[in-house]
């Protein structure tokens, strides 16, 4: 539905958007730390992380979808004793299970293959970008996905954006640009990770290639915009359940996620599984967990809201990650950061004004 999230402060979507902003900020920081805090010889494989992300997300979505099947809801659980529930478990699970499998492998499931491939590429590019850029630069540049998302929404979903909405997008880009300028002037030396001078944990010297990082982040902005809008198109043009769509998305993602792994080793070779999880320490698992959680929340936001609004919510994460950088990495807040972040916040407010109450339309009406 066409929606004004910020008018529904206690709705699920409102919480999802705030959660997504926090999740985005946490992901950049944890993912960056997980990549730069170990020497390259002890680094975990990003391909394994992408695969694990899809496996976990798909499994969680499957369980949620299963719990929502009608057969399972029709069972009078409340009137049954615990013993009856245990005794009847083998049967009630099988019927909903097969119903769900039928829904997952429906004739139109192939539609999810396109966003699935794009998301795997995006998730892999994210690792390249975050390993080669300071957290702040990555975060801010990644916000350009809002513009690609708006462009794809107009092109594919035939969304009409009012002049106020375009103007707020323009201001958003300017705000991001201003923050970007401050980032490059105060960020860490090019060949060191951000925070290494201040962080109490010993970070290893990690050679970063900003050009590679910016190239990866730019490509990720395009795949993010296209994948998100395509997923929204599939979701809103059919009645299939969100969680079934999510399982389909993860299933199709498994193929491209497996390819780079198969390139280096074969599943039948001894030690394949332990090789997959080699060097997976606490930070690597935390990265995967935050990604899985973010994927699930993203799906909810796309379903009940839209991609453009999701972009605005995640742009708030810039402010959160900078605040975290101040606390964790002794980052300095400069006037240009305050101006840039305020521009982002104002444009977010402007974008979310309900039709008729938009600042620009008020100006135009009073002029008439
Ligand atoms: O940056 P962006 O918001 O485009 O990132 C979306 C993230 O959410 C990707 O990592 C993607 O894998 C994930 N996602 C998901 N399930 C969906 C939609 C997105 O896991 N249905």
Q: In Å, what is the CA distance from 198 to each residue of 93, 115, 193, 194?
A: 53, 40, 11, 9
CA angle 130-131-137, nearest 5°? 45
Q: Atom 20, ligand 1: which residue's CA is nearest?
A: 295
- Residue appearing with tokens 């958007």: 17
Ligand 1 pocket, 123 CB below 6 A? Answer: yes
Which pLDDT tens digit goes with each residue over 10-48?
467 778 888 988 998 899 889 988 988 888 888 999 999
ipTM, two decimals, is 0.96
Ligand 1 centroid distance, CA of 139 (Å) = 16
Q: Which residues contact 288 (CB under 8 A, 6 or more apart)?
A: 49, 52, 53, 56
Residue 296 CA to ligand 1 centre (angstroms): 8
Ligand 1, closest atom to CA 242?
A: 21
Q: What is the pLDDT of residue 221?
A: 93
* C-alpha to C-alpha distance for 28 and 287, rounded to whole angstroms: 9
Q: What is the pTM of this model?
A: 0.81
**315-343, pLDDT tens digit by residue?**
777 778 777 777 776 667 778 878 887 88
Closest residue by Cα to atom 13, ligand 1, is 295
Give me the pLDDT at residue 360, please: 58
* Centroid of ligand 1 to alpha carbon of 220 (angstroms): 11
- Give the span between the Cα atoms of 340 and 212, in whole angstroms: 25
Q: What pLDDT does residue 200 have?
A: 41
Q: Which long-range contacts (CB under 8 A, 24 or more apart) does 175-178 make?
A: 175/340, 175/341, 175/342, 175/343, 175/344, 175/346, 175/347, 176/140, 176/141, 176/143, 176/144, 176/315, 176/318, 176/340, 176/344, 177/340, 178/336, 178/339, 178/340, 178/343
d(CA 7, CA 13): 11
CA–CA separation, 116 and 234 (whole Å): 12
Q: Distance (Å, rounded) from C-alpha 218 to C-alpha 364?
A: 36
Give me the pLDDT at residue 168, please.
Answer: 87
111 in contact with ligand 1, CB cutoff 6 A:
no
Q: What is the mean pLDDT of the chain?
A: 80
**Gap from CA of 279 to ligand 1 centroid (Å):** 25
Query: Do residues 149 and 141 touch, judged by C-beta distance below 8 A?
Result: no
Below-50 pLDDT ranges, the chain:
1-10, 186-201, 363-368
| CB neighbour list of residue 150: distance below 8 Å, 6 or more residues apart | 161, 169, 225, 308, 311
């Amino acid at each position: 539905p066409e929606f004004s999230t910020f008018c529904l402060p206690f709705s699920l979507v409102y919480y999802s958007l705030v959660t997504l902003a926090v999740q985005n900020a946490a992901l950049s920081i944890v993912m960056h730390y997980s990549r730069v805090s170990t020497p390259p010889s002890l680094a975990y494989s990003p391909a394994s992380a992408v695969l694990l992300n899809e496996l976990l997300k798909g499994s969680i979505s499957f369980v949620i979808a299963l719990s929502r099947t009608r057969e399972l809801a029709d069972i009078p659980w409340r009137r049954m004793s615990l013993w009856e529930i245990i005794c009847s478990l083998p049967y009630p699970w099988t019927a909903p299970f097969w119903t769900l499998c039928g829904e997952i492998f429906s004739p139109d499931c192939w539609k999810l293959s396109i966003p699935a491939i794009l998301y795997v590429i995006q998730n892999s590019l994210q690792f390249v970008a975050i390993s080669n850029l300071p957290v702040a630069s990555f975060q801010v540049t990644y916000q350009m996905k809002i513009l690609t998302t708006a462009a794809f929404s107009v092109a594919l979903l035939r969304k009409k954006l009012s002049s106020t909405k375009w103007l707020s997008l323009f201001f958003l880009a300017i705000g991001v640009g201003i923050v970007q300028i401050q980032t490059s002037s105060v960020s860490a030396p090019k060949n060191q990770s951000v925070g290494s001078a201040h962080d109490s944990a010993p970070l290893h010297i990690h050679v970063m290639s900003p050009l590679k990082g910016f190239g990866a982040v730019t490509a990720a902005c395009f795949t993010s915009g296209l994948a998100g809008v395509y997923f929204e198109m599939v979701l809103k043009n059919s009645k299939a359940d969100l969680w079934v769509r999510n399982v389909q998305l993860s299933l199709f993602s498994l193929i491209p996620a497996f390819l780079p792994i198969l390139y280096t080793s074969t599943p039948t070779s001894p030690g394949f599984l332990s090789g997959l999880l080699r060097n997976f320490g606490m930070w690597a698992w935390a990265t995967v967990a935050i990604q899985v959680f973010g994927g699930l929340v993203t799906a909810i936001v796309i379903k009940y809201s839209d991609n453009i609004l999701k972009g605005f919510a995640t742009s708030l994460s810039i402010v959160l990650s900078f605040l975290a950088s101040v606390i964790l990495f002794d980052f300095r807040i400069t006037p240009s950061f305050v101006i840039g972040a305020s521009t982002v916040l104002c444009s977010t407010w402007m974008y979310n004004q309900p039709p008729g109450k938009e600042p620009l339309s008020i100006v135009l009406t009073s002029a008439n």
